[in-house]
Amino acid sequence: MRLAITGSIATDHLMTFPGRFTDQLVPDHLDHLSLSFLVDDLDVRRGGVAANVAFGLGRLGLAPRLVGAVGADFDEYRAWLQANGVDTGHVRVVEERRTARFMCTTDQDQNQVASFYAGAMSEAVRIDLADLVDGSGGPDLVLVAPNAPDAMLRHTRQCAELGLPFAADPSQQLARLGREEARLLVTGACWLFTNAYEAALLRELSGWSEQEILSRVGTWIVTHGADGVRTATADGLRQSFGAVPSHSVVDPTGAGDAFRAGFLAATSWGLTPDAAVPLGCALATEALETVGCQLYRATPKDLLARVTATYGQSVGDALAVHLGRCR
């Protein structure tokens, strides 16, 4: 099954301030701030939702097509993704911009001061999904993940126009959308991914009830962190899955992206959510236990052990033959 992953590609620059931001604020001078924080470390990580999902799929042997916009500084990141099984042939390079960057400083109380530079991501709307369609046809599924909002809207419309099945993952960009935009991004999706908070926000933004949303999508997958995952369909099929226990939570960033990679990998192998959700949960836990969104090294043995211990031997058996393709 051919998968195309559209969305953000970014680099995270994460710093730690050993003090408290609040100690540096002078109440009578908050209208003229000029602050500089001497940080202890700088951690540069590869990120972006589409790149994170594509990395997970590549590690699972799927060779996904990554579709997004980057700057002229992308060469090293491209080599990394290609080495991990990702097809970067449809990444648009914007020579006059830099790849998107998230810059964040965290103090000892876990307060954060952050900036996001969209950079080349703002040009993602220029990407034409028709370029994905060749003589052998187009992708079997397109994931429309968080990106520049106008790009997400265009790519959702193009999936309908080109007859490309798609999965919707509006995620953190929901806050940027109006009612008609939120409705457009989910209508017709084979799979709809949200976390519990985003599910409530989607209902509010769209003005639709849960059942009205379900009538417009195939299956709605809602993640609940440590409380697991719930799925629902319009015909009333509802399933709940516990989370895969973690030995230690090191870094939650990117766990949701890893879940999507595991889920989409399993469904691309022709498996149902009964096996796809467990694999997604297992990969998410691997990501939780690793610093950085693209540094986990889940082996087939580790994933099968986690899945079997949490969900039973039959689920492990359904995944075993496919996990042999992992990198």
Please tell me the distance from the alpha carbon of residue 318 to that of residue 298, in angstroms, as a whole number.
18
Please tell me the distance from the alpha carbon of residue 184 to that of residue 157, in angstroms, as a whole number.
8
Say how many C-beta atoms besides its own lie within 10 A of residue 299's C-beta: 13
Distances (CA, A) of 106 to 27, 100, 234: 21, 20, 42
Please measure the distance between the N-terminal and C-terminal CA atoms of the chain and give it in whole angstroms: 17
To the query of whether residue 150 is one of the catalytic residues in this protein, the response is no
Which of 7, 315, 305 is CA-nearest to residue 155?
Answer: 7
CB 196 within 8 A of CB 174: no
Distances (CA, A) of 185 to 116, 127, 133, 291: 23, 17, 21, 31
Residue 84, classified by CB atoms within 10 Å of its CB into exposed (0-12), middle (13-18) or buried (19+), is middle
Within 8 A by CB and 6+ apart from 295, the residues are 45
Catalytic residue among 134, 169, 257, 302: 257
In the structure encoding, which two tokens stand for residue 273, read together?
Answer: 């959510």
CB 8 within 8 A of CB 49: yes
Q: Say if strands 65-67 and 100-106 run parallel, antiparallel, or are unpaired.
A: unpaired
Within 8 A by CB and 6+ apart from 190, the residues are 141, 165, 166, 167, 217, 218, 219
In the structure encoding, which two tokens stand for residue 327, read together?
Answer: 């990198």
In the structure encoding, which two tokens stand for residue 298, read together?
Answer: 């889940």
Please tell me the distance from the alpha carbon of residue 172 to that of residue 219, in angstroms, as a whole number.
20
Active site residues: 257
